[in-house]
A = this chain, B = another copy of it.
Amino acid sequence: MIETPYLLFLGDAPDPLAAKVAQGIRDWRPDHAIGQYRMHGCKADMKLPDLTLAEARAAGAKTLVIGVANRGGVISAAWKKVLVAALEEGLDLASGLHNLLRDEPDLAAVAEACGRQLHDVRVPSVKYPIAEGRRRSGKRCLAVGTDCSIGKMYTALAMDAEMKRRGLKSSFRATGQTGILITGDGVPLDAVVADFMAGAVEWLTPDNDAGHWDHIEGQGSLFHVSYSGVTMALIHGGQPDALILCHEPTRTHMRGLPHYPLPTLEDLRDLALRLTRIANPDCRVTGISVNTAALDEPQALECLREIENRMNLPAADPFRQGAGRLVDALEEV
């Protein structure tokens, strides 16, 4: 568990996109972000107060979160100066970089000397159990995609936010680095050892109140041969009551696999439902989340209408339209 609130480290971000993690925290957990720290030449801006490390600490910040990825994912010498100073100032560090904080001897030594925590969310910090398949109380919703990187995390975050707005009981359950940094907790599922994947998902989504919904962040795709095993563990460990199908209508092949065509939404519906019902016979597909970023407004609306009529399910782009209709459908489960 990463202590909040955060100071968001934007470093020397070469462009706004490089600060995707900071943007995610800013968008979804604004209460967690009390300021930003930018170095010379930083091209990203979260429209938060620019704070020094001392100012951030004085304002109550507990953790400096590396909200930016630089080329190669390494921790540069320029960054190091700030990170060491942050530890000295009394801030923990949190990072999702491949280059682990704990693998930097100077950071490890300073953290130790200052009694501070280094959170590398890319590696599991828990010894997860083997999944036992017991039906759990409370309800769970899982986003599954026709492909990877198609909007599953955004969809789950948007549905969680909408349920909270309505005063319903809801949690977002992070399964990837960005999601964990946004919420401060979760399971880095792609880094979990094979035998414990489904158990890690069970651990992440325990028994809960009857009316409570877990919105589980999806990973990979059943149709993406590189990562389908991870998706499978989410389906069987998560035993979802509701599936949201996620789709990007302009993609011509699976991400990174030019020789693999995208499945249809019908393919995804049938296969995901068949597999989920092994763990939860009552599971239903309740809606479709369409990433229409590549379409203009009339095209997007036409695309959504076509999908909705064809699939006989509510179809929405939560970024363009909000997650209201997807949540409406969940409330009927």
List chain A positions with a Cβ less than 8 A from chain B.
Answer: 130-135, 189-195, 197-199, 222-223, 225-233, 235-237, 239, 254, 256-257, 259-260, 263, 271, 274-275, 278-279
Contact = CB atoms under 8 A, between A and B. Distances in A.
Contact of A194 (B133, B191, B259): B191
B237 A131 contact: no
A236 B230 contact: no
Given A194-B189, A195-B191, A229 B230 contact: yes
Contacts of A236: 225-226, 228-229
A230 B195 contact: yes
Contacts of A192: 193-194
B257 A132 contact: yes
Contact of A132 (B194, B226, B230, B278): B226
A228 B189 CA distance: 15
A220 to B, nearest CB: 9
Nearest to A135: B259
16 contacts: A132-B256, A132-B257, A133-B225, A133-B226, A190-B195, A191-B193, A193-B193, A194-B197, A194-B233, A195-B230, A198-B227, A223-B278, A225-B239, A228-B233, A232-B232, A271-B274
A278 B79 CA distance: 44
Contacts of A190: 193-195
Nearest to A129: B226
A226 B271 contact: no
